Structure 1
């Protein structure tokens, strides 16, 4: 059989129709039988065409994504799973492996991006599925799984859970996560059904769904149990619930025992499970009747699998080694590895284990020097190297809660710990440094890591652990979103964008979030709240276990001196550009100094932010969000312009209605002062209407970067004077908005270079003034190539404040600075400061008033009449 031969797919995915009219999947307002699901899967499989190609899928908890997932597996095409929501992780995988077909869910359908008709890479006949290794999503290192492994693991899970056709699982975990995927596979193999949802367990609608759909099980990771505690699960009446499964990390034994006892009282079972992506998800399970007596154990091997303990040289411990039909073929680090066959026959887990007389296995440690904290793999060896680079001799241990390091010598531990947390991308509370006279060592001279780890326990017993200095009022991420976005309820599955966040509220939210978490995750505006909730002990400063501040150490070349050199911290480029631009705009208009072109840079920033915040969600959700964002610009702007029209003679009625660019006199005049707001509102309104068209919506979802480039190209005839423009004073600016859009959606190096070339060709034609053109070009390229800029830490808050209030400063400064009618440079400086201050005050008042108005409108009877039926349908 050649590698190009079309092979049979995963059996359970190819044979769905055998369960006939049983319900396979339930979604809000709709249920599909196995026969209907099989029909959709077959139609999708045919769409892939003949030949065997690598297919990449954004696997969210939607029906189109589920159908596409099953279609690829059933057709025998190797499937590369991408994380949901796009972003840099998915882009890295696409760039590394160049799949032949990319599938994304768009509304109620799956959109196929067929990039080539034949396979680009040589694909091994057994290769069926490619998954990122746990904790390294987006890494080019992938786990290669065969159809037999997927089928075998699904069958084993169905066997030990005793799945039956009457079972129904709620999809509490994403399909892109191997644990969530195993829930789907095992239930569909057994003829059971799925309640397809992305609701969080903290959402009341989730529990309405559980009761309405008679859900019998759901999957949980350790953090899920924190959420269950929060919503009072112990007092809930869920009569249909038959069992809960737990994996994705170690659950503390006391919690295992507590939930096992609750399950016994309420009539459901707790299945504690152990697995790795390399074994297609599951390797062991703890029988529910053993959870009370042995809550620390991972249990017994799954059906068809087996464990052995292999002694580890130099350690009085043994590594757990697993064998079974679900073990991966091997890893892939590059596209050439997709042609490889089986390279692995058993899985060395990297975990140290022991087995009791009752045959139950227990994990007692890790052989590898890795821990996983807040979903990120942390190399403890790298921790020691980072500390060594700071001139610190240390030994690092840790758990899935925190990195713990013993530090020799007299150092400023507070500054070092904060720097280390930033370098590792961890919350500040996840790094604990303890001073020691000498690093604990074993008889052979190697560091005694168990003794290092015990420092954390000693600190907790003696002094309550490292002191906590929470940022008052900012530790609750839900409250941050609720206050910034003026919403009443924030669920764990909500994100900043889904709650209506836009560029006007983004800055305030990002600054408060960074203070709450100690860092700002990339793509946080698209992440669910439950992934942003800070760890229980978020601290902004580290102190010694005694609770006293660690002593400072000065002097050239000392660690403290090196840390203090880090006076600059990164801020998002868009935020910095908004702050700098508004200062330059106001100063130029007042004559304090002259720096032209920054308003045009802001137009590019507007396009950049539109592409980031306004292209997610289904079409109607986006349309409502577009209108809301436009209203947030129009209402405060028109209020000021109307006041200016009433108290001065410099403006006309068409200014109040933002129509000067269309019906006012041509050329630059006093009437043109609000041109930026007018043109921005025109662009946003036009895009809202265009993107509401289904065909355009599909086009933009499939080729977002190309659409941004098209906006540039459409405007070039106006820019080069080939078509007469209504904006001779400022020139056309849609192309700048498009450049910003293209910058935000550039995912590959060649795309960035294409945008760069286009900017270099277009910008010089924007104005005859080379300095203004140079400013515009520099701003666009900085936005494209530099995601962050380093800003003095002391200026972060004022920068964020000016960026947040930039629109309000722009519309109010025309009324403020004429009050300082003087050529004195000091008076001009005071006029700049007064304009900035008045704009900030107006921003604070106007956003508060608009937030209250939005809340009031939501509570109106007509609002409830339209919302409640939708909520009922959703649940």
Structure 2
């Protein structure tokens, strides 16, 4: 057993015995009880100093174990709770690399249920531990970091005291734990509050969870912390309308929050009685290095502010190094401005710009890359942050870029932050990265990608062929809410590999690698760089359009797909392929689209593959001339053909629109009502309603203005509310869209009630069956056994078709499918009093129940997919297209209706993308015009600050004086 220093501990508990310390699962734990629990846990850990790996969690046992280890002098290494496969792999890698002596964790396999355990891997320790070592922190809470930050007891206590001083913490304060415990920002909230005698509401809930706000109100929290993404969620979730009178302040760090957002939140706080503290830090500085006083949030938004009490900041020249700072891990930033340029400067460098350097008692001891490093003392005396900064005229510090965001591409030194900023000034919101050979740009639409590639090449002087562009659904973030550049780079590699741009070799797909290949398909075709092996198509936001192209790719990769594939994870789909793939089925993913080229559409490129004439393709299985397409897509295309052909008098086969309504309910249940968090469901439903309503209102309104054909109520999709004589007229032409939109809006409101959302999750089939029963009851109450005239198109009467499609999607056993089939037949026949029309609806629904996919000629697949995608626009526009040809050339009217609808669909996508870019440009212009005004306000604020007397805080001063007092507790 190695020799180690005597146990030296530090206590973070500064509260009075009877004061509340923690609120855990609704129960208040006071400081007396917490001290008793910590003492017992300290005794369990023993008197010999050992490395304690602790599962992090915002719960009582992890906090007690952390505090006990600190008091006993045992260095702590936090790891996230075991969740997805990545977390498990990272934990295993840390155990193997750093060999902890004790692992404190939740044992989910215990016979009596989950319980907290101390897994003592040995009686003593194998490590030599420096006397000052108290915490080993992974940068930004990431367990994938190649090195750990060594922090001392003095680091922890001094930083906690400094934070308590500028936040003016007292026993009256109570913070909610909105950040992970293993994240230095989250841990600093725990340390600063307990040291100052304040309390914590321990919760794992997100700010998007309604139960979080109920807890926050019930336990009267005075603050919570957030990263930029937290504040995006708050604003999107209606935080401004919430009543939380106990709230005293918010804190923000973990990346740069846009100055406009800082000003909005500060203004909201001024109205509602809370303050906003914008803060800056790094794990290497324990947590905090600077903060922006709340009174300056409106006038100095964008600045990181001034040093924390006891700290000092300076700016050093860069010295011309190409590789940026050597002082810190680039992943470690927890600051307000890290990696983000200040407003105003187009050149990227301004007078006085250099690397930001910090000095203070919270600067780390150094890094640990191997267990031998645990014995080291202090190797770092000041922190070179790696951030480019300047000191403003008002004395505040401001980040203007990141030194290690410079890259060498094609021999040129590229400032990636500057690339992003210049693109933003031109109205293109994009992210920039590099794979060491190319400049990679990412945007959220194909047109924005094309624009970003073109402008990035021009702005940087790079040849166009070394600038690659990629469309993503949204920009990914790490678990701590920061922009995830690594995920973007991985996404680019996946995308290139999937489309054959990297020249992958062929061969049948490896069953063992199938989950990873499925993950790549999800990541690339859904534009979700963060997609993991435990994500599903539905969970990633796949919808009724994207599933066509994804299912085609997965069919190529895995063979026939199970009916429930949208809700299966990549891991589960890969396992299914291993069990059910026929010999030779599934071409290699790398070769699926090597002939398609980088710009090929996913549907079109699914037709291509390794050609027989290509070198190395001998012996590969030729693709069949047919392809499977999922039944809902085929039915959408077939239904719109029936609708237009019947209306144009090309043939007479009614029932297509009512069948389309059932298909819409089926897709609604599979995608918008997938098993994802409740708030996500509501957002998806709301987005779907908007996607239907906006083009409909624009088109119908435009026709009404030009021709006077439609009333305002029709254009606003509220014709159902208008008085009617019960006879069909042209105001009813858009009944289908009206019924769909208002049903979706109603579902969004319904599922915003958490109790209802939970009930549906517990019994999805029963819930859908009850919904259908209610809808049928409404139908019979209004229309009786046979719907006549416009009753057949009235929203309350036809909503049963949406509910029927929903029920079909929930029928996951043969018995349930038989039941749904019977219900479909009984409810369809008799509705119109026209057996042929009813047969079309019933046959389509039965196809949904029993036929997962239809095999079609490959040449037909793109046509069917296009008709399915454009079906709503064809439905919208065909009323104005076919009438002139109805009597003389119905076939021509039908074809023109499809052509106009597809063109309208494409034009709408183009226009919506352009509108997004124009909006971004307008925001940029407003920001530029505001710069001069901000400068005047800053000068005024500076004058005010100089004349304002500083109010001392006796408790904070006492805490500051105690920062060097490390209590020797021992055994």
Q: Which has the larger radius of gyration?
A: 2
Query: How does the TM-score come out when normalised to structure 2?
Result: 0.45
Query: How does the TM-score come out when normalised to structure 1?
Result: 0.50
Higher relative contact order (CA 8 A, sep 6+): 2
